[in-house]
Structure 1
Amino acid sequence: ACIGCNQACIGHFQLGLSISCIQHPETGRELDYSAKPRAAVRRKIIVVGGGPAGLKAAAVAAERGHEVHLHEREAQTGGQARLAQLLPRRAEFGGIVTNLTAEAERHGAIIHRRSEVTRDLLLAERPDAVILASGSKPHAPPFEGEAAQMVHVADILAGRATTGPKVVVYDWMGDWGGSGIAEMLAAEGANVRLAVNHHCASASIQTYVRFEQVARLHKLGVEVHPWLRLYGGDGRTAYFIHTPSREAVVMEDVDTIVLNTPNLQEDGLSRVLEELAIPYELAGDALSPRTAEEAVYEGMLAGLAV
């Protein structure tokens, strides 16, 4: 079922790229990936992480005939997609979790929830190969000085943090995270300034969706400040650098700085796998944090590689 993101279909078309689908990367690549080659030997595969990359990897590996066990340490599959669907008008995006989970289960992958893969588990299960799709974690960029409060978008969506009434959202990514959290906080009554290190808000989002998002921000009174890179803070003041001119931009009377910045991959288990001489494939944010499109595509490739 379509999740209405427009990213790999009309978004690709407008960029002059071949159209595809973020949930089903076989689309547009049918000659290469529509028919999955059966595995010559049935192997035991452990997939670490139940986000989009892990779910797609499990589905493809199981479809090829392997015994596949996906381990997700949380109570639900989905990874960061579960948080993304909590942003305003993004509930439909949660369909990527439902769809990919169903695909994995339909092909026979066994999903273990609240299950973390450790050295002991690997020694007990003795898999023939592992697909490491363990995702990523929030990361704060280097920051000069101190700020009254600094939180990450993911912390707010997960209920781990709240903000004060006067907020500056620093949007390094120019994607749904920055503009979406700005809209959410403004709708809840906060005074929000959106400092985005791009030429406009939602710059990384497909144009039709971006126009609607920017319109909502305007109606909510969110001040959008383009071309800004966060430099530091001092109490209730945030300091930015205007990227093209290199001049300072100062924002005062700030209670909270909300970060929408690149994550850091969680690939620590790779060292354990190397020590145990277990072959493994990396996919999604565990390889390099990007979007769900890259994660699902790489999950497919990992499922074909084992």
Structure 2
Amino acid sequence: MAVYTAVDDASLVAFLADYDVGELLSAKGIAEGVENTNYLVRTTTGTFILTLYEQRVEARDLPFFLRLMDHLAMRGLSAPQPIRRRDGSLLATLCGRHAAMVTFLDGIACDKPTPVHCAELGRGLAALHLATADFGMERPNALGLAAWAPLFAESRETADSVVPGITAVVDAELEALQAEWPTALETGVIHADLFPDNVFYVGRQLSGFIDFYFACNDILVYDLAICLNAWCFEKDGAFNVTKAHAMVTGYEAVRSLSRAEKDALPILCRGAALRFCLTRLHDWLRVPENALVTPKDPTPYYDRLRFHQRVRSAAEYGVDF
């Protein structure tokens, strides 16, 4: 259960009085999610998601996230749109936490994505990249290349107890990525966390993206590399090139990839696999006794890293040249 902060009815009614959303009908905590507390709120005018931002979310980043969602919605992309308070602000406080209300997005996450789902994701991701080209705010990637070595240093002493041999592999990989990471590719706003549970579908048609709380400025095609890692490996660890080809083809139907971007995909996929391996390792080693959320095993992303290290061309991901 990922409801870290309980909200009583009286506090919620008082909170909603600052919004033009009608009267409260019901509110229910949402179990999904890791970082924040979320409630499904129904009022006499509609259905909304109430988010209370917990300790791991930096308050200074909230205007970026909220204005980004507002920008995307205004550009016609299906994303939760923040609800303005009566004074025009997007951010409030509730039960000692920063809080915001956003519109409810129809659809469900896909736990068994097909190539059709992957193609839809690719098109939607490219549309997001194009729609944010004129977004006026920037946020550096707090979990980008520069953060990986310090992050691993916090887990290094006990890392091999979780994944045998990981320390030597990560040490070598960090050195290689520092030397080989591309620096001349197109950058912009990326979602940076488009796992299947953050993508909604109605049937097999994409209905929208949620959870923009890792969004930042970085290499655009790195976002695609994150998605290839998150969507194109089967439960047995096998890479599904058919899904990958569908995703990349869908992306290119909206935004063409340059030759340099395609050539960089193997190194970017290595970086994406390492990033999620290290954050999962960090969390795995720091599970509090009263944890409400089970941390994710870093091993699958370690295995994906090892797979990408053997890739010599993006053609192995189904990319057309």
TM surpasses 0.5: no
Higher relative contact order (CA 8 A, sep 6+): 1
Normalised TM-score (structure 1):
0.27
TM-score (norm 2): 0.26
